[in-house]
Structure 1
Amino acid sequence: MFDESPAVFLADFGVPCIANGHAFLGLLDRPDESLSIGDVAVMSTQYLLTAATSDLATANVREGTAITVNSLGYRARELRQVDDGVFSQVELTKT
């Protein structure tokens, strides 16, 4: 059985994050999303933070939580676990 360690992965690729006074590492992605509003197509940039589920739980990250990612401010919109739940993703709004 493969024993994965999110700490090893995040140590190589993560950026510093702080929520509710707790520091942790996460990956910030900014995928573009194509939206149709009536007959108009627009592009929207989303902010998506991937972090260890245990780190997010320790920092008590919930909808509306303020999170600093790599020195920039965001607010959590929605949380969901990824695959086996070792990592979770947080949709963010830039503040």
Structure 2
Amino acid sequence: MSEEIDLHLGQRLRRRRRLLGMTQQELGALCGVRFQQIQKYETAANRMSAGMIGRLARALDVQVGYFFEGLELPLVAQSPRPDRRARKSGISEEGGAAQVQTGL
């Protein structure tokens, strides 16, 4: 799943950069990295940090959310993990209502 996210972010980065007619070298200079790093972001060879996404957004004149637009994440159906505090105190949340376990 994380590879899909990295690919999506890279595609959005490349699309916006090209739309502005900007080279990888120009974008790299604005963000303080070499053009090779921009190339690696665009191909998802390297992951972008949150800080770098912010710098790229500023350089490309978009909101950070731009990079995530159109990204569809499947909802993972997992059973909720029991609350540790509830187990220690003898309180169970099964059935949607808190119940006190007396141990009798």
Q: Classify the TM-score, shorter chain.
A: under 0.3
Q: Which of 1 and 2 has greater Rg?
A: 2
- Between Structure 1 and Structure 2, the one with more strand by share is 1
Higher relative contact order (CA 8 A, sep 6+): 1
Q: Which has the higher helix share?
A: 2
